[in-house]
Amino acid sequence: MILPILAYGHPVLKSKAKNITHDYKNLTQIIDNMWETMYNANGVGLAAPQVGLSIRLFIIDTKPFSDDETIVKDERSKLKSFKKVFINPEILDQHGDAWDFNEGCLSIPDVRADIKRSKSIFIKYCDINFKEEIAEFDGLIARVVQHEYDHIEGILFTDKLSSLKRKLMRRKLLDISRGKISTDYIMKFSKNKIK
C-alpha cells in the first residue's frame, strides 16, 4: 500500500524517533509499504518518520544512481545492488574528507541544495530479522545513509544550510508546508502553520 509522504513543516519530521523491538506491530507490512511508497515516488531512501512513524527505521535502494554516468563505474556497480533495511541504527563514526553533493528529499519536493557530508561511516544496525550488523560505507551510499539517519534524528537537509541560504528558500519551504506544491505522489501536510 502506498502511504502519503509527510511534507516539510510536519512536526513528525522534526522529532527524534524511537528504537523499536522485534515484535513491533505490523513491522513487515510497514516495511513493505515503505518500499512501495519509495519506489512510487522514485526515491532512493525513505525513513519511517516520512510516513508518519516516529521510529528508528529507514530503507535504501541506490539502484537509480547506477545509471548516472557522472559517477565512476566501480561505484556505480556497488550502487546497483545496494538495497537495505536499517532498524535501530547508530552511527558509530564518521570519517574521511567531507564532500558536497546536490541533495533532494521526498518531503521537500523541487528543492535541492549542496550538502556537505563525511565520506565514510561506521554504522551499527539491525537487519529485517533483528540480526545486529556493523558495517562501513563510503561515497554515495554513506551519504544516503547519513541523509536517512538525519531523518530519524528529526533533521532535514535544509537544517544544514546557512541561514542566508535558508532565507532565500523560505517562500518555497512555506509553500511546501502549506500544500502549495504539485507532486506525482501523495503528500500529507501539517495542520499547523509554520513560521
Active site residues: 148
User: Residue 7, interface with Ni ion (CB under 5 A)?
Assistant: no
Size of the site for Ni ion (CB under 5 A): 1
The nearer residue to Ni ion, 91 or 130, going by C-beta atoms, is 91
User: Residue 111, interface with Ni ion (CB under 5 A)?
Assistant: no
Instruction: Please name the amino acid found at residue 44.
Output: V
The nearer residue to Ni ion, 105 or 111, going by C-beta atoms, is 105
Nearest distance from residue 47's CB to Ni ion, in Å? Answer: 7
Determine the Cα–Cα distance for residues 134 and 119; give it in Å rounded to an integer: 17
Contacting range for Ni ion; rule: CB under 5 A; set: 11-19, 102-110, 119-127, 178-186: 102-110
Contact 17, 55 (CB under 8 A): yes
The nearer residue to Ni ion, 41 or 87, going by C-beta atoms, is 41
Cα torsion angle, 64, 54, 6, 176, sign: negative
Nearest distance from residue 131's CB to Ni ion, in Å? Answer: 26
CA atoms within 13 A on the CB side of 86: 30
The nearer residue to Ni ion, 105 or 126, going by C-beta atoms, is 105
User: Residue 152, interface with Ni ion (CB under 5 A)?
Assistant: no
Contact 19, 186 (CB under 8 A): no
Nearest distance from residue 57's CB to Ni ion, in Å? Answer: 14
The residue whose Cβ lies closest to Ni ion is: 105
Among residue numbers 161 through 180, which ones bind Ni ion (CB under 5 A)? none
Determine the Cα–Cα distance for residues 17 and 106; give it in Å rounded to an integer: 18
Three-state SS at 67: helix
Using DSSP bridges, classify how beta strands 113-117 and 99-103 pair: parallel, antiparallel or unpaired: antiparallel
Determine the Cα–Cα distance for residues 17 and 178; give it in Å rounded to an integer: 24
Among residue numbers 34 through 93, which ones bind Ni ion (CB under 5 A)? none
Nearest distance from residue 21's CB to Ni ion, in Å? Answer: 25
- Closest by CA position to 123, among listed 136, 140, 132: 136
The nearer residue to Ni ion, 27 or 105, going by C-beta atoms, is 105
Interacting residues of 134 by C-beta distance below 8 A, sequence separation 6+:
92, 122, 123, 124
User: Residue 105, interface with Ni ion (CB under 5 A)?
Assistant: yes
Positions that interact with Ni ion (CB under 5 A): 105
